[in-house]
Amino acid sequence: MCTRKCSTWRGTGYWCPEHWEISDQQIRVGYKIQLTLKDSTGEAPFIVFGASGNALTHTTATLLAQRYPYSPGQLPPELSALVDQYLKFEVKLPMVPTSGISSGEFRVLRVFPNVAA
């Protein structure tokens, strides 16, 4: 899990291991969500960008950024409320020859503005 490179997520967002260097200029969302992902293979820190945050907030980070312009030290209440929460997830992986479903939980560690947005 920790060695996966950044890739598109459903074609609209990005995910990557926390330590991965981000240089893609196409990442323009307003917020990044740092979380710990835990499933049957172990636990690893990730940062979630863009539409992948949609699963957490039911709206995109881009829309949140439009509703709440960047202000140092302030976050939208929808995102602030996620910090330190444990949430369940299920990810379907159609390219995996087995069942193609991974499930587990993640803990939201922090949410912070994406200064590159």
- pTM comes to 0.29
Q: What is the pLDDT of residues 33-42, one digit of tens each?
A: 555 555 555 5
Kindly list the distances between the CA atom of residue 17 and the CA atoms of 7, 23, 42, 77, in Å, as whole numbers in the listed order.
11, 14, 13, 25
Rounded CA-CA distance 74/40 in Å is 35
* Cα angle, residue 97 at apex, residues 95 and 99 outer, rounded to 5°: 100
pLDDT of residue 40: 58
Q: pLDDT confidence of 67, banded at 50, 70, 90?
A: low
CA 65 to chain CA centroid, nearest Å: 15
pLDDT of residue 23: 41
Structural tokens at position 53: 């945050």
Q: Are 56 and 82 in contact (CB under 8 A)?
A: yes
SS3 21: coil
Q: What is the pLDDT of residues 7-32, one digit of tens each?
A: 333 333 344 444 444 444 334 444 45
pLDDT of residue 39: 53
pLDDT exceeds cutoff 60 at 84: yes
pLDDT of residue 7: 37
